[in-house]
Amino acid sequence: MNAPFDPGAGTLVLPQPYLLFLGDTTERGFAKTAFGLRDWARDKCVGELSLPGATVTTGLPQMSSGEAFAAGARALVIGVANSGGIIPANWRASLVEALESGLDIVSGMHVRLTDIPELAETAHLLGRRLIDVRVPPEGLPVGTGRKRSGKRLLTVGTDCALGKKYTALALSRAFAERGLDVDFRATGQTGIMIAGGGIPMDAIISDFEAGAAEILSPDADPDHWDVVEGQGSLAHPAYAGVALGLLHGSQPDVFVLCHEPGRETVLGAPGYTLPSVEEIIELTLLLGRRTNPAIRCGGLAYNTSALDEVEAARLMAQDSERLGLPVADPIRRGPAFDLLIEECLR
C-alpha cells in the first residue's frame, strides 16, 4: 500500500515575501513561475527584478534587490522556467547582489544553486540560504498500477506552459466552493511554492515517475478529490515522458484538456506543429486506460488571454458544440466554467 503523501511533511518553510526575478526573459511562457506566484500568491510578492533585454513583466513594481529588502522581501525567487532549467552566466551577478542585499534565493530550476560557486561562496560567507525547490524526495517506488480509493482529476495539455497549473488550481478552488473534500496536488516548482508541498515530477528519474504520482495521490475517502497538476504534453518531442508517467501513476478518473487557441507550434520545439485537441483527447484515453479503464474526458480548459471576451465566448461555444464537451476559460469562469465543473463531477 502506498504511504499517504503529506504536503507538509519535510517541506521547507520558504522565506517570504518574494522578489520575483525575471532575468532577461523575452518569452512569456518561460516566465510561468513568476506569473503563477503573482496570480495565486499575490500577497507574498513585493515586486519584480529584470535584466536589460527582458521584455516580459508581471506588472508588479520594478525593484532592485536592496529596494525589495527594504520593502520587506526576504527572498528572491527565480521566476523563470526556461528550457533545460538553467541559470545563465549573465544572471549570476544579480543573484550575488541579492544575497549581498539580505535576500535568500529560492529556485525551481534543474541546476542546483549550490552548484554555482559564486552563489555558494557568497551565501556561506553571508549566512544566506540557497533553497532548491526542484529536489525530489528520496526512496520513491516504481509504479504498481494498483487501483486506489478516492477520486482523481488530472489536467493535461496540447503543449507546455498553457494553463495546466492554473486550471488545476481553479478547479480545486471551485470544488472547495461546492463543499467538496479536495486537495490540489502540485507537480511543478511553481505549484509547490503556492501549495507548500508536492513532488517536482520533471526532476524524477523516469523509472520512478509513475510511482511518484501514486505517492502524490494516495488512497483517500471515496468522496475525496485529488486535483493533480499536469506536466508537459503527451505529444511534446522533449517532455512526453513526464506527461505519460504522471498519467499512468495518477490514474485519473477524469482529465481536463488544456489548450491555447491560436498557438501553432510546440513551445521550445520549432518546426513541430501543435497537435489538435481531438488528437490529445484520443491519445490520453488510449494511454490512460492502461491504469484506469474508466478514464474519461471532463472537458476542455482554454487559455483565451489573447482574445477579447466576445471572441473567446464565440470560439469556446463553437468548439463545445463540435466536440460535445464543455469548453471554458477557468480564469474568465462564468456559465461555461460551471458546466465544466458539473461534467467533471458527474
pLDDT at 202: 87
Roughly how many angstroms between the first and final C-alpha of the chain, as a whole number?
28
For cell 491504469, the residue is 291
- Which pLDDT score, from 0 to 100, does residue 5 have? 43
Domains of the chain: 18-132 (3.40.50.720), 151-345 (3.40.50.300)
d(CA 253, CA 20): 36
pTM, two decimal places: 0.82
pLDDT at 13: 60
Q: Average pLDDT per run of 10 along the chain, which is 346 residues long?
A: 39 77 91 90 94 95 98 96 83 97 93 95 97 87 95 97 94 97 92 83 93 94 97 95 97 98 93 96 98 98 96 98 98 96 97
Return d(Cα 55, Cα 51) in angstroms, integer.
9
HEC secondary structure over the chain:
CCCCCCCCCCCCCCCCCEEEEEECCCCHHHHHHHHHHHHHCHHHEEEEEECCCCCCCCCCCECCHHHHHHCCCCEEEECCCCCCCCCCHHHHHHHHHHHHCCCEEEECCCCCHHHCHHHHHHHHHHCCCEEECCCCCCCCCCCCCCCCCCEEEEEEECCCCCCHHHHHHHHHHHHHHCCCCEEEECCCHHHHHHHCCCCCHHHCCHHHHHHHHHHHCCCCCCCCEEEECCCCCCCCCCCHHHHHHHHHHHCCCEEEEEECCCCCECCCCCCCECCCHHHHHHHHHHHHCCCCCCCEEEEEEECCCCCCHHHHHHHHHHHHHHHCCCEECCCCCCHHHHHHHHHHHC
